[in-house]
Amino acid sequence: MTADFRPATDDDIPAVLDLWQRAGMTRPWNPPEADIAAIRANPKSALLVALRDGRAVASVAVEDGGHRAWVYYLCADPGLRGQGWGRRAMAAAEEWARASGHTKLQLLVRNSNAPVLSFYDALGYEESAVKVLQKWLDPAREKAFRDNPDVH
């Protein structure tokens, strides 16, 4: 595992939640506690975290999706941006994916998030030739999504 990153433990979860709040990663339709629980309950996924003095400075979630792996919740402490934490988080995700036998790593980025699109472009990621489709299976989460169009 990339030196700065390791799988999150129970004791790390409050620090990860704090990081996600500070970094603006949470959305009303994706309760972060539920997402963390689901990631950690799945033996084919990992929540990787880097900590300094008990404070989470970066995190990334990686999940087995068959022949590809998916990346979620990559973020760095807003006060430490530009110091390479995002790049190190992606390196940790790529290392996890390779070690798990994956040939491709995929992620989702909102079309409106130009700085993040530029970040991934600089790392060699490219737009896929497929379109992502979705169907809500949880009416409460769908309502939260539809009630918050400004955060899509």
| Confidence label for 21 from pLDDT (cuts 50, 70 and 90) | very high
Q: Residues, the chain, total?
A: 152
Q: What is the pLDDT of residue 139?
A: 94
Distant-in-sequence, close-in-space partners of 12: CB < 8 Å, separation ≥ 6: 49, 51, 56
For the chain, what is the largest distance between any 2 Cα atoms, rounded to a whole number of angstroms?
42
Q: What is the pLDDT of residue 54?
A: 84
Going from N- to C-terminal start, the domains of the chain cover: 6-151
CA angle 117, 95, 82 (to 5 degrees): 40
Beta bridge partners, 60, equal: 48
The verdict on pTM exceeding 0.75 is yes
Work out the percent of the chain whose per-residue pLDDT is above 70: 97
Fold of 6-151: Aminopeptidase (3.40.630)
Per-residue pLDDT of 22-76, as tens digits, reads 998 998 888 999 999 999 999 999 999 999 988 999 999 999 988 899 999 999 9
Q: What is the pLDDT of residue 5?
A: 96
